[in-house]
Structure 1
Amino acid sequence: MKLKKLSSLLLALIVMLSVFSATSYAAAQPSTTVLLDGKPIQLGEGSAEPFVDNGTTFVPMRSLFETLSIDLSWNNTTKTVSGAKGDLSFSLQIGSKTATVNGEKVTLTTAARIVHNVTFVPLRFVGQSTGYNVSWAQATHTISLTSPVVQAAAQSKGFMWKVEKNGNTVYLLGTIHVADKATYPLRPELEAAFKSADYLGVEVDLTQYTQEQIGAILDDLGTYKDGTTLKDHVSADTYKGVTAILKGLGAPENTLDKYEPWVVSLTIPSLMISDAGYQAELGIDQYLMQQALKSSKPIVQLETAEQQYGLFDNLSADLQESLLVDAIKAYNDPSSGEDQNAVDALLNMWKTGDETTLLTLTNAQQNVDHEYYQAFIADRNKGMTNKIEGFLNSTEHKTYFVAVGSLHMIGDDGIVTQLTKDGYTVEKQ
């Protein structure tokens, strides 16, 4: 796996720090997307564009049937649509909430209809009736249709462990904070463990922060208040690298002057990730938080946004500039797409549950910089482990689903490693 081109900072943002996604959390939700076996499909446009009514997604009948290779029959007299695929069949009537699947009557939430001479049918009903698994991800506004042949292969595995003590259960999920739409659905074991939990535990509960609050934290911790600017605190070459990126984006060269190097070093990778098609709002943590809100599951945070941004603010001046230099180099030198390939590889590692690669990446962090490793991994792992042990030793007899960056889980200072050393039995799930 070729990962040397990926800067240590960018790696940390993707798999370790929730605050990387915080600044985009309050952005508008993406429009509804339909995936077929992980790939986006177009089901009509203009007056024939899919729409949602009463929680049901409607799509143009003919476009859907052609895409799913469903045999279509239409009775114009009764306004009845019939479909068949293999040994599965169904029928529904325009304006009626009663339909049939393999001869059995079922009740629809909302009836099929004709709009502007286009027949629209409920996507979930048609998909499930012809053998597809249909899932809805609120966090990504994505409907996924998975064919029977690839259903098992399409589910992301991730990294999950289970610990029990005193009638309490903690599921530990190593996450990745940036993902794409093809990351979903997650494997059933992950979803079942999450559903069984009384609490969701995350690094930072981003649902409790607004865009304005995150901006205020950044302004408080990451701006100069003594009359100096970025130019006064980094080398001429480093500053020139920042202004060149801004100029290339059509932004004023002094746009980031008020910010300290660590803030700028966060800003540049966020542009890279966005350009590569990855989104922080699609990260596993974001998905779980949205699901928790939907089911009224309480969310507990192991850290705060102030603490995570404070990690950067407390770094030495030399390390802050080093991280900024890394970010500039990564932005300016895609080298045949190796940086994007590295992100692809990280996401593929998570989807396939490749623990060997995860351990290699975790161990490699010890060789980056002692100050960096101590601040971002070792010290944080101790704090999070203490809180997890608090869950396990409580008298509540509750189940917690704790989701934190994957790089925190294994290795010499990993949460799983520390729990094992402290006498807990940790089982891989």
Structure 2
Amino acid sequence: MMKRTLAVFEILGLLVAVFLSGCSTPKEEYSKHFLWKVSDENSSVYLLGCIHFADSSFYPLDSVIINAFDRSDELAVELDISDSSVIKESVRLSSELGALKDEKTLDMVLPEDVLNSLDSLCLSWYIPSDFFYGYNPWAAAMTLSAIALQRTKFDARLGIDLFFLMRAHEKKQIISLETVEEQVSVFTGVGIPDSIGIFYLKNLIQEIAMLDSSITLFRRAWKTGNDSLFHVAMNLSTKKLDHSDSLLLEVVNENVYYSRNRKMSESVEKFLAENRNVFVVVGTAHLISEKENIIDILHRKGLTVEQL
């Protein structure tokens, strides 16, 4: 699974179900968790790194995680995907923002080798080859990622964030850290040149061949709180990039991760300043990615951060 897409899969999975309208493992013991307590002088919040797509083997969650949630008054997530109006608006905006303009179609934009690879993958998945042709390259890559994940039997409906959203209903206030437009803009590539979207899509198609192995590692890493193994899973299929491609990857990471991490860190600071007891659930990669992750940002701000 491409590490660049992990953070926005939960909405994509639900959207793909609309667009397509059409493995469990032995229980592992938790050694630690992707759960942190972040504190200032007089208050604290919890930060949980989640998997947006999961299966039944992730449940029941460890009591340390459940107890932290139960002690909190509010739940903060990237976006409240349990709200039908959010899904409806996401579908509308995705169709609007992810579409190519000026009567172009994806087959007109992609280099021949990338188009052939995409068509071959669609053929192997029994998807019409022109299914993605209305998307811009970035949106096509994001949607392809969601479909690939669904084929592994991981399900957005079993995602850790959705689990807590359903548990919070009528019990806790739910806070969205991002607006629908902000998140949809990320996975439709608003402001991203087609050249970067093409780079993104080309690499994703190559890496899908490693998806089953990546998923196995992600599952084991999350269940045991093993950040080293999580990093291995994130980089399992990452090939050595030349200087030009490395620059393109930085643009991708800035859009998907770094800018969002800075904003979400500001929200955590605000919760602490207002003495609010909040349980925050965001994609694990936002918390432990190798560069500019939320945990490191909060450390630099002088806050006390303890992993549980």
Q: TM-score range by the shorter chain?
A: 0.7 to 0.9
Residue 184 of structure 1, CA deviation: 0.7
| Letter of the 1:324 counterpart | L
The match for 1:254 is: 130
| Letter of the 1:405 counterpart | G
The match for 2:294 is: 415
The match for 2:221 is: 349
Counterparts of 1:269 and 1:16, CA distance in 2: 10
1:18 touches 1:203 (CA, 8 Å); kept in 2?
A: no
Residue 419 of structure 1, CA deviation: 1.2
Counterparts of 2:212 and 2:232, CA distance in 1: 19
1:290 to 139, 157, 166: 166
More strand by share: 1
| Letter of the 1:277 counterpart | K
Q: 1:314 to 1:18 in 2, by over 3 A?
A: farther
The match for 2:59 is: 184
Residues 241-299 of structure 1: CA deviation (Å, up to 9, x unaligned): 33333344444432322111122212222232222221122111111111111x53111
1:393 to 263, 268, 273: 273
Note if 1:316 corresponds to 2:201.
Answer: no
The match for 1:42 is: none
Counterparts of 1:407 and 1:385, CA distance in 2: 14
The match for 2:155 is: 279
Residue 362 of structure 1, CA deviation: 7.3
The match for 1:403 is: 281
The match for 2:146 is: 270
Residue 363 of structure 1, CA deviation: 9.1
Residues 302-344 of structure 1: CA deviation (Å, up to 9, x unaligned): 112321231223222112011211232234xx3xxx4201111
Counterparts of 2:8 and 2:126, CA distance in 1: 31
1:199 touches 1:399 (CA, 8 Å); kept in 2?
A: yes
Residue 14 of structure 1, CA deviation: 3.4
Residue 214 of structure 1, CA deviation: 2.2
2:15 touches 2:91 (CA, 8 Å); kept in 1?
A: yes
Residue 387 of structure 1, CA deviation: 0.9
1:160 touches 1:172 (CA, 8 Å); kept in 2?
A: yes
Q: Which runs of 5+ in 2 are unaligned?
A: none
Residue 16 of structure 1, CA deviation: 5.8
TM-score, normalised to structure 2, is 0.84
Residues 62-93 of structure 1: CA deviation (Å, up to 9, x unaligned): xxxxxxxxxxxxxxxxxxxxxxxxxxxxxxxx
Note if 1:244 corresponds to 2:117.
Answer: no
Counterparts of 1:224 and 1:26, CA distance in 2: 20
More helix by share: 2
2:251 to 360, 368, 371: 371
Q: 1:14 to 1:180 in 2, by over 3 A?
A: farther
Q: Which runs of 5+ in 1 are unaligned?
A: 1-5, 28-34, 40-149
Counterparts of 1:156 and 1:194, CA distance in 2: 19
Q: Percent identity?
A: 26
| Letter of the 1:315 counterpart | I
Counterparts of 1:170 and 1:363, CA distance in 2: 30
Counterparts of 1:304 and 1:345, CA distance in 2: 31
Counterparts of 2:164 and 2:71, CA distance in 1: 13
Counterparts of 1:352 and 1:198, CA distance in 2: 27
The match for 2:304 is: 425
Counterparts of 1:227 and 1:390, CA distance in 2: 44
Residue 163 of structure 1, CA deviation: 1.7
SS of residue in 2 equivalent to 1:163: strand
SS of residue in 2 equivalent to 1:339: helix
1:246 touches 1:252 (CA, 8 Å); kept in 2?
A: yes
Note if 1:340 corresponds to 2:215.
Answer: no
User: Using CA pairs below 8 Å that are at least 6 residues apart, which structure has the higher relative contact order?
Assistant: 2
Residue 377 of structure 1, CA deviation: 1.8
Counterparts of 2:16 and 2:60, CA distance in 1: 22
